[in-house]
A and B are shown apart, each in its own frame.
Chain A
Amino acid sequence: MNRQAREQFFATLAMLLTLAAGGAFVGGLSGGLLVPITAVLVMAYAKGRFIVLDFMELRASRSILKSALLAWPAVLLSLALMRAVTVSLIG
């Protein structure tokens, strides 16, 4: 692993830890409001994206596998967002 790759690898970890702490903090203070819940879900997707692209080393890949792996968290988190929107509209 060269220096640039090592720095990028550490940067990925820093981003993941920041997003994990930030997501938990915002989620803890959300109080059921839609905007912070959306922020939490977007941060969760960003974390998943880092895992797929950098930890699984698929950033340079053009395979359908990469798209499918990125779609999995996107679909579930979108459903969670739809649920939150529905609950806030009804409730």
Chain B
Amino acid sequence: MAGTKAQGGEGDSLLLWILVWSELAAFGVLLIAFMIMMMLNPDGAALFRSHLHPGLAAANTIILVLSGWQAALAVRLGGEGRAVCRPLLLAALFGLAFAAVKAFEYTLEIRSGIGGLGTLAELYFIVTGFHLLHVVFGAAILLLVAWRPSRGNVVMIATLWHAIDLVWLVMFPIVYLT
């Protein structure tokens, strides 16, 4: 019985890391494509950058760091019991705050006419939109896990959440700053 449980735990862990690496590989390819497009069209890249709002993206970096910190706190508190509900809830709320800021940023960019910039803008919306979907989905799972926390589920969603965080920390300078 204990052996079956241990095998189940190893299987869960393997699946978790396969999921994490599939995410990192997908975002890696998208970010490389974005960099290539920026390099092939320097004038378009400069025009595209003039439509972005790095200040809002920087605020989102801080929000996501705080969210990841709360998720890590939930794991350090043991990953189960009522004590982990608050950090998981806060992690989810920070995630939703990230989504709200990103939606506001999209509104500003669309109003400024970023949609008319062609492939670069399309790629920008694909990369950041794909990430935004992950944040919204992750926040929903965090809320679910906060409702009924168990050690395995807390570790799993916290690890995925950190992967989403890591993707943003790399995406931010590549898309907005360099």
Q: Which residues of A contact B (CB under 8 A)?
A: 1, 5, 9, 12-13, 16-17, 20-21, 23-24, 27-28, 30, 37, 40-41, 44, 47-48, 51-52, 54-57, 65, 68-69, 72-73, 75-77, 79-81, 83-84, 86-87, 91
Return the CB mask of B134-153 against A: 1 if under 8 Å, else 0: 00000000000000000000
Main secondary structure of the interface of B (DSSP, over half): helix
Q: Give the residues in chain A near B39, CB-CB below 8 Å.
A: 83, 86-87
Report yes or no: B159 in contact with A56, Cβ–Cβ below 8 A: yes
Q: Give the residues in chain A near B107, CB-CB below 8 Å.
A: none
Distance of A51 Cα from B172 Cα, bound (Å): 15
Contact of A51 among B24, B32, B68 (CB under 8 A): B68
When C-beta atoms are compared, the residue in chain A nearest to B39 turns out to be A83
Please give me the 8 A-B residue pairs with the lowest Cβ-Cβ distance, nearest first: A24-B58, A27-B177, A55-B72, A20-B61, A44-B173, A47-B169, A16-B65, A73-B170
Report yes or no: B68 in contact with A20, Cβ–Cβ below 8 A: no
Report yes or no: B76 in contact with A37, Cβ–Cβ below 8 A: no
Main secondary structure of the interface of A (DSSP, over half): helix
**Contact flag A20-B62 (CB < 8 Å), given A1-B76, A5-B76:** yes
When C-beta atoms are compared, the residue in chain A nearest to B57 turns out to be A24
Total A-B Cβ pairs within 8 A? 115
Cβ of B124 < 8 Å from any Cβ of A? no
Report yes or no: B65 in contact with A13, Cβ–Cβ below 8 A: yes
Min CB gap B159→A, angstroms: 6
Cβ of B54 < 8 Å from any Cβ of A? yes
When C-beta atoms are compared, the residue in chain B nearest to A38 turns out to be B178
Interface residues of B in 56-105 (CB under 8 A from A): 57-58, 61-62, 65-66, 68-69, 71-73, 75-77
